[in-house]
Amino acid sequence: MSLTFELLQQKDIAAIKGIVEWFEEFDVVQIEKFLSEKQNIALAAKLGGEIIGLMYGYLLTRMDGKAPQFFIYSVDIHTAHQGKGYGTQFMKFVVDWARGNGFSESFVLTNKDSARACRVYEKAGMAHSESDCERMYEIEY
């Protein structure tokens, strides 16, 4: 069986319900809301018609007139399917999909100690930037 990929839309909510169990923090109502917003993007990796991977992120419109950026917020492959190259195939698809849809760039944040994730992103053609002068700051509400 080969891996297939598709852009998820509100009409796909029935298929998405099956993966909610592997994401404890996900809620079907929130997923429907997420998919209803045009700047939100969700892509699925399927094996034999079953969703085994999910990527979601955001279209970021720029004020400088350049094409939008694609912020990849999360990429997950079900644990039963990890270590088989599916994550790399999925990320290569995501990168090609974003390029083909006119994004100026795509980016993802990860922990530098997450070697597996770093390898997947690098195999997909992404390059990391290491800078002592860049930091991410966050605050939870």
State the average pLDDT over residues 89-107: 95
d(CA 128, CA 63): 24
**Domain assignments of the chain as residue spans, ordered by start:** 3-123
Q: What is residue 65's DSSP assignment?
A: S
**Mean pLDDT value of segment 73-98:** 94
Q: How many CB atoms lie within 10 A of CB 89?
A: 19
Average pLDDT over residues 61-85: 93
Is residue 82 scored above 80 in pLDDT? yes
Mean pLDDT of 107-128: 89
DSSP for 68-96, please give it. PEEEEEEEEE-GGGTTSSHHHHHHHHHHH
Pick the CATH number of 3-123 from 3.40.630.30, 3.40.50.300, 1.10.10.60, 3.40.50.920: 3.40.630.30
**Average pLDDT taken over every residue of the chain:** 88
Q: Which residue in 133, 86, 129, 134 sits closest to 107, CA to CA?
A: 129
Mean pLDDT of 64-74: 94
